[in-house]
Amino acid sequence: MFEGFVTERVDVGEAELLVRHGGEGPPLALLHGHPRTSATWHRVAPRLVAAGFTVVCPDLRGYGRSRGPDPAPDHRPHSKRVVAGDIAALMTRLGHPTFAVAGHDRGSYVALRLTLDHPRRVTRLAMLDGIPITEHLSRMGPEFATRWWHWFFFAQPDIPERVITADPDAWYRADPAVMGADNHAEFRAATRDPRVVRAMLEDYRAGLTVDRADEAADRAAGVGVDVPLLVLWSLRDDLAQLYGDPRAVWAGWAADVRGHGIDSGHHMAEEAPEELAAALAGFFAGR
């Protein structure tokens, strides 16, 4: 995977991130979701390098081979604000004062927070299978609670760790033929590590507490996305089934919203890499 990329660990302060980066041209960061690692981008990142970009793919704090501080009772060490700070510091250390960012799933919440907290640094934002956490919660009904029950299970103390680590292969099922063998092996090693499982759960616990509060404060203050926003969603997942056109949800957060559905299941970087890379390349090139 990632032929021609540099893979290294970068100290960003209170965390050390495993990062893959390569290419020449305008920089962009790709932020993975749960329960993946940066390896999820292995079919997309080389295509973006070929399109003329410098591509940076980190494991988010606590995921994969990145490490951060231990969890805290208020969940702040795994909040999107703090994790977004990791990415801002990483891009600084790699020599990129400004950059574009795309985030998928949980990584989309980090990408949004990065854009809101560091508006002079982010040039363009792409949200993949994501709307703001507060939008999910304010629109929540029985269908969301039934389909996305894991949000509330993961937020419980202690029990999710015990359930998942008892048989991680049964909990985190994935097909190596779809993911790619090396990507699958990296994912499997990560999800069998109790430290990673705990950090991933803290991501969700932060989502329903400090992240929700941070988003609500931004909305009350009139803070929004001031850069062009691309919204992409998986047609064989349930985001549009729950909320209709996701662009309509984002219209309350950003003035320049565009995007479309992609014929894929939830993990679009693995299932539809050509279509996803083409959409990202065109958007990040300003087309």
Instruction: List residues with catalytic annotation.
Output: 105, 266
69, 212 contact by CB (below 8 A): no
Sheet containing 122-128, strands listed edge to edge, beginning at the edge strand earlier in sequence: 6-11, 16-22, 54-58, 27-31, 99-104, 122-128, 229-234, 257-262
Task: Report d(CA 36, CA 63) in Å as an integer.
Answer: 8
